[in-house]
Amino acid sequence: MSLYSPNSNIIGAAPKVRTGMFDLINDQVNFQIVPKPYVYYDIAKRASYPGSGTTVYDLSPNGNNATIENNTSYIPFYNGNTSEVMSDFLYFPGSSNYQKLSLGSSLDFGNRFTVCAVIRPLGDSDIQPLICNIPPGSTTEGFFCGWNTWNTTDRKFRLLVGVGQGGSNKLNLYSSANAFNYGQWIYVTWSFDKTNSLGWMQKNGSTMIGVTSLNNMDFDTTGNEVTIGCFNSTANGGNSFPMAGHINSLIIYNRLLSTAEQNHNMAYFAPRFGGNWL
């Protein structure tokens, strides 16, 4: 019998890696993410991360590879006590010895973009950056996706944009408190629309931050270092705000996804981790 797995790119033979339930379900229906991502990291695929090394490879055609700094850990996720790998992820411990992925400073997100991720936040205090292109502190010129209000553990999702120094040049949008549980996998999306000056955020297909004005802030979407898991600078205490959590996948589209497209991606990732986390 001839088998094909999009995760192994092997035709005519059984796939050599990742033959768990996630791959079998998606292989059977030839199911893929929404086309034309600008950046696509998927730790569950060897082509994106082979399990060692300091490079996370971009699965989009754009070659936007990321560099691991300070030894972020790779962890396989097994099916119970068996040796069957269901999916994999990177572990960010949230220690003061920060870990991050650096995407460099050449990306251009454009005026409309969407960030999608499968993550498992872990318990930690203070600001938790998932992805951003800004340093911490009073000088903010760019965007931020993450959670927690400063110096709290309130578990509020956060969308931030800024255009310069001082509080009047920043805009924070927050969800309600306790918007997620630590230690649980979630599928999250942040949407930025500079053209119409709007932002919003969803978790598992439900609105966490409704469509809200960004006050016409012309925040940077290119020219700054983009980082995952930490701010893009260790100045101003940047290394004291590392994310504590696991990242299984992260996708960036340089356009806005429709609700149907967001739900499609969520359905693609749903079989992972035993299929009972959404």
Q: Which residues pair with 118 in a beta bridge?
A: 187, 249
Does the reported pTM lie above 0.75? yes
Phi, psi angle pair for 195, to nearest 5°: -60, -45
pLDDT digits (tens, 9 = 90+) for 169-219: 899 999 999 999 998 999 999 999 999 999 999 999 999 999 999 999 999
- Using alpha carbons, list the distances in angstroms from residue 128 to 27, 63, 158, 166, 254: 35, 27, 9, 20, 23
Burial class of residue 3 in the structure, from the number of CB atoms within 10 Å of its CB (0-12 exposed, 13-18 middle, 19+ buried): middle
Question: Residue 18: is its pLDDT beyond 50?
Answer: no
In this structure, which long-range contacts are made by residues 14-23, counting pairs with CB atoms below 8 Å and at least 24 apart in sequence?
17/46, 17/85, 18/44, 18/45, 18/46, 18/85, 19/84, 20/79, 20/84, 20/85, 20/86, 20/87, 21/79, 21/86, 21/271, 21/274, 21/275, 22/86, 22/87, 22/271, 22/272
- Mean pLDDT value of segment 5-22: 34
| CATH no. of 32-275 | 2.60.120.200
More confident call, 13 vs 185: 185
Element (H, E) at 126: none
Task: Give every CB contact of residue 182 below 8 A, 6+ residues apart in sequence.
Answer: 121, 122, 123, 155
More confident call, 165 vs 216: 216
pLDDT of residue 222: 93
**Is there a contact between 120 and 111 (Cβ–Cβ < 8 Å)?**
no
pLDDT of residue 138: 64
**Is there a contact between 64 and 103 (Cβ–Cβ < 8 Å)?**
yes
pLDDT of residue 124: 76
- Using alpha carbons, list the distances in angstroms from residue 254 to 98, 116, 167, 191: 28, 12, 28, 10
Predicted confidence band at 72 (pLDDT cuts at 50, 70, 90)? low
Question: Residue 155: is its pLDDT beyond 70?
Answer: yes
If you average pLDDT over every residue of the chain, what do you get? Answer: 81
Choice among 4-18, 32-46, 149-163, 194-208 with the minimum mean pLDDT? 4-18
pLDDT digits (tens, 9 = 90+) for 84-137: 444 567 877 777 666 788 899 999 999 999 999 999 998 777 899 999 998 877
DSSP reduced 3-state for 149: coil
- Mean pLDDT value of segment 220-241: 82
Ranges of CATH 2.60.120.200 domains, the chain: 32-275
